[in-house]
Structure 1
Amino acid sequence: MHFDHALWSQILFGLILIGGLYLFITEKLRIDITAMLILAALVFTGVLDSRQALSGFSSEPAIIVVAVFVISGALGATGISERLGSLVERLSGHSEGRTIAVVMPIVAVLSSFTHHVMVTAMMLPLLLRHARKSKLPASRVLMPMSLAASLGTTLTLISAPAFLLANDMLQRAGVGNMGIFAITPIGIALVVLGTVYMLLARWLLPKRSGGRASEDYLRLDRYRTELRIVREGHWCTRPLSDLQKALGEHFRLRGWIRDGRQRDDLGVSSPLLADDVLLVEAAADELLSLHDDAGLDLNAITRFGHLASGESTPQLVQAVVAPGSEFIGRSIRELDFARRFHTVIAGIWRRNEGVANHLADARLQEGDLLVLWGQTERFAELATHHGFLMLVPFAGEAKRRLRAPLTLTILGLTVLAAVTEWIDAPLAFLFGAVAMVATGCIDVERAYRSIDVRIFTMIAGVIPLGIAMEQTGTADLLANGLSHLVSQWPPLAILLVVFALAALLTQIMSDSATTVLLGPIAIALAQMLGLPPTPFVVCTALGAVVAFLTPIGHHGNLLILGPGQYRFSDFLRIGLPLTILIGLVSAWMARWLWMQGPLLPFG
């Protein structure tokens, strides 16, 4: 009867697994929805009880992933990620080889404590701009960057959900807990390998430039506006260099007005005084940061804000000057915009440089993008005005650059607490995320927006899948069949088989789902062969994370596919030899770390 029950459980689990694989592969439903359907099916069929089914939501991998998303959001909110990206751009020079040599290691380090897709998204516009300035084909630098972001996730245990899931399986198997830097030696070897490979094999990369749409988007960094230094504010008496440092490189001074006249004798070391007016250019994020800074006022709002007062909270929106608009050719001063429309023009963006230094003297042109400040009810009226094409929310997000040192301190203490095991890693990162919010490094709303709920839900949903595979005996059954095939093989060859299986499966499934599916089989196989399970599970997770074979294998590859004008064959041509090398290095290093194998071939 026990045999019949076990067999029936395996059959039910097999049917659920086949259905889940079908949905994962075809993507007829989102991966998080598929994970929840699998979880529900496991409960309704009695394969798992409710406690086991819900264990994923309180699991260490799920908690750490949420915390890392918030910490990543704080790094972006305080401008740290952007500054590191800009540093990469400055160090890259104008040669293709130097760009790859600089970009790949730094991007890999960035990905070791944040989500690699976020790093890829951050670096994409910077590298496109750098490629245009240096006259480099974008396709020659974007693929190395995306590869480095993927390889960087192998530097720490927390940077990819697959490694957290692998560690969770090892804990359940009674093997013990891997530290945050347990896989770092493998990660360093893979980053070095990937960088050297791309430097030597870059001639295999196509020579294609990025699309024009990306170029136009990147030029939205020259909003012209005017700032007034608030009396007794925190910028009073501080040098201009402090303000420039706080606001980043997209902040550019165009003029300095003191006591009603423009001064050419004031520079970066000159102190800011109350009621000084700075004529500046700033990116969208910086413009919103300036608006939110208590020590600064947008000069137009200071002068005319009383004309746009009302009961609701004022906000910033953008409006495009329409073709044939009555505003074309007239200056903002002539239009008397604030009195006429009870709305203040706080800034202007124009495709070319032809904007007057003084905002009030700017003569409007077709296509000008105006930053308007006022009441919601006034915007409703302006939206119907034939002079504008549209009104949309202001596309900027304020940076909290002054809290950047605090953000780095919290991140450092979080990692230190986790590494020294003073606090368990999940709690350390959870407390670190809470500290980021509590100290104002990131606001609550942005912290919640930083969390990719789909990934959290998918992890919580697939963990029970791994438990069911172990509990029904399916993992032992599959491992037993595999062990008959490889029992006489050397450990290195077996590890390569495990890596290869994961590398192939991850092309049609997520790295997390691949690890959950193959991890229990890897553990059971190792136990049957009398070998330590850790290198088998690690090679499984590595195969799921760093197999660089197709553009659909990693979300980061999908981000660069269009801007780099890549084809499917480009990834296969570069990725197949590289993935074979990565598999050899991964298996070799795993054998050395956990099976006392030689580090050097002649060892």
Structure 2
Amino acid sequence: MTTEQAYILALLIGAVILFLAEVIPTGVTGLLLVLALALGEIVMPGRIAPDHAAYNGLVHGAVIAVGAMFVISAGIMRTGAVGFITDILLPRVGDQPARQYLAFLLVVAVLSAFMNNTPLVLIFMPLFIGLADRWDKPPSQLLIPLSFVSILGGMCTRIGTSTNIVVAGSVEEFIDLGMFEFGKVGVVLAVAGFAFIYFFGRKFLPDRPTLGLGSSGALATEYLTELVVGEKSRWVGRPVREAFDERRDGAGKARILQIIRGDVIHPARKDDVIEAGDRLLIKGDPAAIVHLHERGDTGVIPTVNHELDSDAPPARRVAMILVEVIVTPNSRFIGRRVRDVKLMERWGVSIFAVQRHGSHLREKVEEIRLKPGDILLVQGTPDAIRKMQVSESFLVVEGVQRSIPHTRRAPCALAALFLFIGLAVVFPGEVHLAALLAAVVMVAGRCLTAAEAYAALDWDVLFLLGGTLALGQAFERVGLAEAVASSVIDATGPYGERASLMGIFAVTVILTQFLSNNAAAAIMTPLAWQAGLSFAASQGVDPSPERALPFVMAVAFGASCCFLTPVGYGTNLLVYGPGGYRFSDFFRIGFPLTLIFGALVAILLPWVYG
């Protein structure tokens, strides 16, 4: 192994370690790769990244296309254009939840072939949670299918997923992959995967409640009042167990549910000491709450009351509800502590708990740093929750009736989407220009503002993609891709082409579960290309670009096979918390699905592209 090959391999190992450790954002890791390649070129001139090749990934057509697709998808989401489709569809499928479930999955599968699936899942997740409530099933039975089906649809076209864009961009110098080239096998995989998920998926899925109180999430049937403890209250310094001593206070059935200090809600425990300035969430019957209000010696001031009856005290009557809120992948609060988000100041809501990776974190909530896919259980008035709904940083999925809004800009958004699809079909080699034009139309047509378009860009994804594309090119440049490919062919070649394809597919699948799918595709595509050429040469066949195509497609489908872990794909992270899933739940349903895909890839790729 040469010095430059060892250097590039060390960069790959270092990047993998940083990805798994999550000590820095993935986008920073991508930029570090660019920096390391540039520094390597200074130390080893002309061998690592000549002619500023370290920066080529950042301006690669795939990066431009993916970034523009973020804007296109944001415009579709912002205008509620998908609502036209659901409004047309729902009256035809009727009120039966099972038929609506099938219809929703079909719509997601079709739409994901032409738009980014992360915002698509954000749009449909509240619909699926509401459907689970009407069907009397927990969200855990429906949300993994939503994520997986969105992945399946994206396999079918060049623009359906950023993975396909990366693969096509990596080999565009040698072969032009058309709009529907991936669909020759991708459609079969999608149909097989869809059938497995719909008919057998729920047998592999858990029947598990989520963080909140159910899909309705509301406390509207409870009588709640929020009381503020004054400085001179006789409750100050006393434990909760003494607060409502029925023999002394005559408070009837009222009791303290929660102690609210600042932005954080703490469950009321018997030994917790009440402090001045605490807000106490009280539950009780009307008589008890009236009694608390009328007692002048308590030092407690009622601030918010639930609707009681005509004899209720003259306090503000506002229903308090609990809702689940997801931290979106492009949230501007990612990496910030809960207390620094200032939920009360911004939206008038308080946070009760955080769910991450299947765990409900209820202690020291204010110190938790937010990550994409985190679920926050927050409490506020309906008006406060509605304000939170319009935030790009959070998705309210529970407790509030949410529908996809229609605006007069929706036709323009759909026109931009169809323009993008049409140009990508006619000019498959210029997908990045088609996407960029459609994104400009979105902004010019006021489907979203320039600030919203900028906010829609997931810089972590774009920087990571730019860095790994440059690393993949360096793999090929220093001969490391050819060396690894030759080793793979030497090990699997004697067992035939299908065995070699399965080797490439398996390595890509494994990388995808722990890196991003884009990173896996960017690294593996040059290797697969060389493997295809090496295999053709070993069989005494002319090593033409067409001979390498089955191996390239094995990478494309392997990188999209993100079913084994929740961290392998963004949509898996989105449904992780709301579904109340555990890490093993994805493996339980994802493993048989991956085996099905592996078998179909081994059978179909040599036959279709051979």
SS in 1 for 2:137: coil
Match of 2:2 in 1: 7
Partner Cα separation in structure 1 for residue 508 and residue 316 of structure 2: 58
Separation of aligned partners in 2, 1:138 and 1:49: 52
Pick aligned residue for 2:32 from 37, 45, 64: 37
User: 1:195 and 1:485 mapped to 2: Cα distance?
Assistant: 34
Cα offset, 1:88, TM superposition: 6.7
Query: What residue number does 2:72 align with?
Result: 71
Cα distance in structure 2, aligned partners of 1:593 and 1:350: 67
Pairs within 5 Å for 1:126-137: 126-137=127-138
Q: Which residue of 2 aligns with 1:269?
A: none
Please tell me whether residue 537 in structure 1 is matched to residue 578 in structure 2: no
Matching residue's letter, 1:128 = I
Corresponding residue for residue 110 of structure 1: 111
Say whether 1:212 aligns with 2:218: no
Q: Displacement, 1:527? A: 0.7
Task: Give, in whole Å, the separation in 2 of the partners of 1:213 and 1:581.
Answer: 37
Indicate how the Cα distance of structure 1 residues 482 and 391 shifts in structure 2: closer, same or farther if over 3 A, else same: closer
Query: 1:101, CA displacement in angstroms?
Result: 2.8
Aligned to 2:570: 555
Aligned equivalents of 1:101, 1:353: Cα separation in 2: 42
| 1:130-184 deviation digits (Å, cap 9, x = unpaired) | 1112212322211211110111211221232221121122123x2x121122112
Letter in structure 2 aligned against 1:563: P
SS class of match (2:528): helix
Deviations 1:395-439 (A, max 9, x none): 354967112122212221221122112982211111111011111
Q: Does structure 1 residue 567 correspond to structure 2 residue 582?
A: yes
Q: Distance in 1 between matches of 2:389 and 2:563?
A: 34
3-state DSSP class of the match of 1:394? helix
Q: Distance in 2 between matches of 1:396 and 1:486?
A: 53
The TM-score, its normalising length taken from structure 2, stands at 0.66
> What amino acid is the match of 2:410?
A
Deviation of the 1:185 alpha carbon: 2.9
Query: Contact (CA 8 Å) 2:152, 2:194: kept in 1 or not?
Result: no
Higher mean C-alpha deviation, range 131-140 or range 572-581: 131-140
Instruction: For 1:118 and 1:593, locate their aligned partners in 2 and report how far apart those are by CA, in whole Å.
Output: 32
Give yes or no for contact 1:138–1:209 (8 Å, CA) kept in 2: yes
1:198 corresponds in structure 2 to 197
- Aligned-partner SS, 1:18: helix
- Which piece of structure 1 moves more, 90-99 or 558-567? 90-99
- Cα displacement string for residues 269-307 of structure 1 (whole angstroms, at most 9, x for unaligned residues): xxxxxxxxxxxxxxxxxxxxxxxxxxxxxxxxxxxxxxx
| Contact persistence 2:443–2:449 (CA under 8 A) | yes
Q: 1:83 to 1:214 in 2, by over 3 A?
A: farther
Where does residue 140 of structure 1 map in the other structure?
A: 141
Cα distance in 1 for partners of 2:519, 2:156 equals 21
Query: 1:70, 1:433 within 8 Å by CA — same for their partners in 2?
Result: yes
Check 1:323–1:494 CA distance in 2 against 1; reply closer, same or farther (3 A cut).
closer
The 3 A distance-change label for structure 1 pair 80 and 168 is same
Structure 2: distance between partners of 1:100 and 1:196: 13
Change (3 A) 1:91 1:580: farther
> Which one-letter code corresponds to 2:565 in the other structure?
T
Deviation of 1:568 after TM superposition, in Å, equals 2.4
How many Å apart are 1:93 and its aligned residue?
A: 5.8
Q: 2:473 aligns with which of 467, 476, 483?
A: 467
SS of residue matched to 1:145: helix
Any conservation in 2 of the 1:526–1:536 contact (CA below 8 Å)? yes
The answer on whether the counterparts of 1:100 and 1:144 sit within 8 Å (CA) in structure 2 is no
Contact 2:148 2:563 in 1 (8 A): yes
Change in Cα spacing, 1:416 to 1:573, as seen in structure 2 (3 Å) is same
Matched, 1:589 2:591: no
Q: Which residue of 1 aligns with 2:185?
A: 186
RMSD over aligned Cα, in angstroms?
3.5
**Residue 446 (str. 1) matches residue 452 (str. 2):** yes
**Could you tell me how far 1:100 is from its partner in structure 2?**
4.5
Q: How does 1:419-434 map to 2 (within 5 A)?
A: 419-421=425-427, 424-434=430-440
Report the CA distance between 1:499 and its aligned residue: 1.0
CA contact (8 A) 2:465 2:522 kept: no
Task: Give the 3 Å change call, closer, same or farther, for CA 562–410 of structure 1 in structure 2.
Answer: closer
Structure 2 residue runs without a partner (length 5+): 42-47, 221-278, 283-303, 322-343, 349-379, 392-404, 537-542
The residue number in structure 2 matching 1:120 is 121
Aligned AA (1:574): I
Shift of 1:545: 1.3
Matches within 5 A, 1:142-181: 142-172=143-173, 174=174, 176-181=175-180
Inter-CA distance 507–396: structure 2 relative to 1 (3 Å threshold) = closer
Q: Which runs of 4+ in 1 moved over 6 A?
A: 86-92, 217-220, 321-324, 349-355, 388-393
> Alignment partner of 1:401: what SS?
coil
* Aligned residue number for residue 344 of structure 1: none
Out of 580, 583, 587, the residue aligned to residue 595 of structure 2 is 580
Within the candidate set 7, 12, 15, 1:17 is matched to 12
Residue 543 of structure 1 aligns with an amino acid whose one-letter code is G
1:354–1:64 Cα change, 3 Å: farther
Paired residues of 2:178 and 2:428 also in contact (CA < 8 A): no
**Structure 1 pair 514–352 and aligned structure 2 pair: CA distance change class (3 A):** farther
Once the 2 structures are TM-superposed, how far is the Cα of residue 41 of structure 1 from its aligned partner? 0.9
Call closer, same or farther: CA 1:99–1:167 in 2, change over 3 Å.
same
2:515 and 2:429 map into 1 onto residues whose CA distance is 34
Q: Which runs of 5+ in 1 are unaligned?
A: 1-5, 221-320, 325-348, 356-361, 370-378, 596-603
Query: Using the alignment, how far apart are the partners of 1:322 and 1:366 within structure 2?
Result: 15
Task: Report the more deviating stretch, 65-74 or 422-431.
Answer: 422-431
- Once the two structures are aligned, what percentage of the paired residues are identical? 28
| 1:28-76 alpha-carbon deviations (Å, 9 max, x no partner) | 2211111111111111111213621111122110111111111101111
- Measured in 2, the distance between the counterparts of 1:82 and 1:57 equals 35
1:274 corresponds to: none
Give the distance between the partners of 2:17 and 2:417, measured in 1 at CA. Answer: 40
Q: Which moved more, 1:41-50 or 1:88-97?
A: 88-97
Please give the alpha-carbon distance, in whole angstroms, between the structure 1 residues aligned to 2:408 and 2:130: 26
Q: CA deviation at 1:469?
A: 0.2
Q: For residues 520 and 131 of structure 1, do their structure 2 counterparts lie closer, same or farther at Cα, with a shift above 3 Å needed?
A: same
Aligned to 1:504: 510
Partner of 1:298: none
Contact 1:116 1:556 in 2 (8 A): yes
AA at the equivalent of 2:195:
V
Return the match for 1:526 from 527, 532, 538: 532
Matches within 5 A, 1:469-508: 469-508=475-514
- Summarize the Cα distance change of 1:555–1:350 in structure 2 as closer, same or farther, 3 Å threshold: farther
CA distance in 1, matches of 2:511, 2:306: 47
- Cα distance in 1 for partners of 2:488, 2:427 equals 37
Give the match for residue 289 of structure 1: none
Tell me how far apart the structure 2 counterparts of residues 129 and 498 of structure 1 sit (CA, whole Å). 41
Alpha-carbon offset, residue 86 of structure 1: 6.3
Q: Distance in 1 between matches of 2:214 and 2:427?
A: 45
Q: Does 1:395 align with 2:388?
A: yes
**Number of matched pairs:** 445
Whether contact under 8 Å (2:513, 2:567) holds in the other structure is: yes
User: Does the aligned pair in 2 maintain the 1:89–1:130 contact within 8 Å?
Assistant: no
Question: Any idea what the Cα deviations from partners look like across 1:306-340, whole Å, max 9, x if unmatched?
Answer: xxxxxxxxxxxxxxx9989xxxxxxxxxxxxxxxx
For the residue of structure 1 that corresponds to 2:494, the secondary structure is: coil
Distance 1:422 1:16, change over 3 A: closer
CA drift of 1:353 comes to: 12
Give, in whole Å, the separation in 2 of the partners of 1:583 and 1:568: 22
Secondary structure of the corresponding residue to residue 488 of structure 1: helix
- Note closer, same or farther for the CA distance 1:150–1:163 as it changes in structure 2 (3 Å cut): same
